[in-house]
A and B are shown apart, each in its own frame.
Chain A
Amino acid sequence: MNDAFAQPQSVLVLGGTSDIARATVRALLAGRTRSVVLAGRNPAGLALAAEDARAAGASTVATAAFDAADVGHHAAVLGKVFAEHGDFDLVLMAVGVLGNQAADEADPVAAAGVIWSNFAGPAAACLVVADRLREQGHGTLVVLSSVAGERVRRANFIYGSSKAGLDGFAQGLGDSLVGSGARVMVVRPGFVTTKMTAGMKPAPMAASADQVAKAILDGLARGAEIVWAPGALRPMMMVARHLPRAVFRRLPV
């Protein structure tokens, strides 16, 4: 159960190898979290993340094979996870790929793959999770969105639009859960220095995975519906959102 400070005891991560997810799990384990299930596609990466979680104090760690793109098996795969491990107080949806904008613009199938992996797949999984949380009568679904989805840019519109889709989906899903005891929190990190962005030039206000994790925990504690990481992105994007197109597309970001 979540305690009075919204500290969960049991956590399920979808996309368990994500750096942000791993940092978040570590931060949660410093609180009340004892049981962690890491789900994802890459068994070797999950094993590493599991070791990480054990070292951070988890008493129960399990991994599960889960492919967010394989929507046909979500109900069975996630159903089994819930059946075997019981209630989850927090589910973190951390699945996502960055893609390669330049290459993908020339390869529509690849572009569709990015959008499927970032939007359709996670959205379908969120529906399955939401249904379980509704049954539990409690629990928080944390969805990793991106500042890139707040206003989609020329430079990464394939990734950005996929996150815009997931962000909107998650907000609507959150509204559908009002009165169910379960809720959704959307997280919009800016540029985060992780393996996903390795080799890229950090954007202004770049954050570390640990800083995003801290923002997530703060958001949980105050019952936030949307969390920006860092928080200063919020006013900045409020402005960026309303810039005329002609201005926005000339911005050097």
Chain B
Amino acid sequence: MASRALTGPGRTAILSGWGRTSPSAARVVSFHGGGNEAAARVSALLADPAGRGVIARGLGRSYGDAAQCAGGTVLDMTTLDRIHRLDPSAGTVTVDAGVSLGTLMRVLLPQGWFVPVTPGTRMVTVGGAIAADIHGKNHHVDGTFGAQVTSMLLATPTGLRHLTPGAGPSDPDAALFWATTGGMGLTGVVLEATIALIAVRTSRIRVDTDRTADLDETLALMIEGDSAYRYSVAWVDSLARGRHLGRSVLSRGDHAERHELAGGGAPLAFDPGAPLPAPPPMPLSLLNKATVRAFNEAWYRKSPRHEVGRIEGIGAFFHPLDAVASWNRLYGPRGFLQYQLVVPDKETDTLRGALERLSGAGCASFLSVLKRFGSAAGPLSFPMPGWTLTLDIPAGTPGLAPLLDGLDDAVAAAGGRVYLAKDSRLRPDLLGAMYPLLPEWRAVRDSVDPDGAMCSDLARRLGLVRPSENKNMPPLATHQRPPTATARQKEPHQ
């Protein structure tokens, strides 16, 4: 029997996040006719109530279930990838939402412009960057990606809207703009955006490295010195315990000037090359406590105690993992999850407690990153002033579910939160405590989508969007085959 929800144009596909947990099936719709056709088709899809919800998807780098919609419609935005115009006098670029940050770098770097915010991968779209309101190593200076957007075109179920940031997140006239930055795609579909760029003289980063012995030294160094750098991040040895707890390699830097580059070559060249081929599908996770411990030890030891002025490429500094395609396969069939928390500045004890619990449980996080955040942004944006800790953990780690539930409780009690773009397992009843502006966000969201046309598995799991009560279930057919006259049942043995 064909299921109604998954018929119609598009193809049915199984989608999951980058962590490869919780897959679900949806009808995937792509666009090939460019911006105007896409705007018309997106608007038509959003206005049609005969489905189980619509969500836009970019390059699928959200770790959890943010860009999938079980039984509904997923809009593949990656073919909407035109760069419309670069305005050198304003320092802005206007692009389709499906353009990736990698594409922007390839096109803009040779002209002396850099994206204002880049996460740990170039493989994200502008639309996804807005929806998750992503941050980078420069958050303490520049804020989130959303804060760099000067205007955007949003298709909502109640019509197309041109949005600007107004006077900032507290400006009521700009409420929909700020509900969209960090809104996890649930306010509508971003079609186009104009972004403020960073002018650079070279495509390299001048990096200072410091190796710290414990958490206190790490935090002190970051508090004291971060303001001197545009980019700052600490890699933490998540398995170090006791007096080594929180030992880190701190790497901080800024865009290099031309005179700092040794030798010749084009100062603005950017050619990350093709990534190494994807590892084959693994029967089990290659990343376990033993391999991660060995890697962590080696990485920590090989890092210089203190080094100044090393020149690195954009890829090596920002996106080392982009060098290998589909590296998420290394985690085996059960996948992995990324857990990212933020706690206010003064809650360093909560941060220490989290590290203690993780290392105490032998929780092998291959990539653990500590960073200091600057200002907060939209009502559902993740960043807030404070400390953010990120961990990559194999989903099959024994005892992981209750361990993370315990961390959630501690984080919420400290006034912190976890990042929805990474989430795949938060207890829904903690959402309100972690995101106190959720009611305001919902009110804005509901005003442009009163019937709940926008939906995602994340939204269903966490109750972000109130579901419209199964309005779309097809009528039931009654099977006509009667039970046979001889059938009767026995009670189970008593």
Name A residues whose Cβ lies closer than 8 Å to a Cβ of B. 1-7, 9, 31-32, 41, 67, 69-76, 79-80, 82-83, 86-87, 96-100, 109-110, 112-114, 116-117, 120-121, 124, 128, 131, 134-138, 179-182, 195-200, 221-223
Contacts and interface: CB of A to CB of B under 8 A. Distances in A.
A131 B71 CA distance: 12
B188 to A, nearest CB: 22
Contacts of A82: 470, 473
Contact of A98 (B1, B460, B484, B492): B492
Interface in B460-492: 460-461, 467, 469-470, 473-474, 476-484, 486-492
A43 to B, nearest CB: 15
Given A32-B427, A86-B470, A137-B24, A4 B493 contact: no
Contacts of B470: 82-83, 86
A181 B71 contact: yes
Nearest to B12: A179
B308 to A, nearest CB: 41
Contact of A4 (B25, B72, B425, B476): B425
Contact of A137 (B25, B473, B493, B494): B25
Given A5-B395, A137-B72, 14 more contacts: A1-B22, A1-B461, A4-B425, A5-B400, A72-B481, A110-B490, A113-B490, A116-B483, A134-B3, A135-B4, A135-B474, A137-B71, A181-B70, A198-B493
Nearest to B474: A135
A79 B1 contact: no
Nearest to B482: A72
Highest count of chain A CB atoms <10 Å: which of B3, B19, B395, B486: B3
Highest count of chain B CB atoms <10 Å: which of A4, A83, A98: A4
Contacts of B335: 4
Nearest 5 interchain pairs by C-beta: A181-B25, A137-B71, A79-B476, A137-B70, A4-B424
Contacts of B395: 4-5
B479 A113 contact: no
A43 B14 CA distance: 39
Main secondary structure of the interface of B (DSSP, over half): loop
Interface string B391-420: 000011000110000000000000000000
Highest count of chain B CB atoms <10 Å: which of A31, A76, A82, A134: A134
Given A1-B70, A3-B461, A4-B64, A71 B493 contact: no
Nearest to B488: A113
Given A79-B476, A195-B492, A135 B484 contact: no
Given A74-B479, A76-B478, A131-B1, A5 B425 contact: yes
A75 B478 contact: yes
Given A4-B21, A179-B12, A69 B492 contact: no
A184 to B, nearest CB: 15
7 contacts: A1-B70, A2-B22, A76-B478, A97-B489, A116-B484, A121-B483, A136-B70
Contacts of B469: 86
A70 B483 CA distance: 6
A200 B395 CA distance: 41
Interface bracket on B: 35 or more
Given A1-B70, A2-B22, A179-B25, A196 B483 contact: no
A76 B334 CA distance: 37
A135 B5 contact: yes
Nearest to A9: B461
B479 A72 contact: yes
Interface of B: 1, 3-6, 12, 14, 19, 21-26, 52, 64-65, 69-72, 333-335, 337, 395-396, 400-401, 424-425, 427-428, 457, 460-461, 467, 469-470, 473-474, 476-484, 486-494
B333 to A, nearest CB: 7
A193 to B, nearest CB: 12
B71 A135 contact: yes
A128 B4 CA distance: 14
A72 B469 CA distance: 27
Contact of B19 (A4, A109, A135): A4
Contacts of A136: 5, 52, 70-71
Nearest to B19: A4
A124 B483 CA distance: 11
Given A71-B483, A134-B3, A76 B476 contact: yes
A114 B486 CA distance: 11
Given A75-B479, A137-B24, A195-B492, A86 B3 contact: no
Contact of A72 (B3, B26, B474, B480): B480
A31 B400 CA distance: 12
A28 to B, nearest CB: 12
B419 to A, nearest CB: 14
Nearest to A103: B490
A87 B6 CA distance: 15
A113 B487 contact: yes
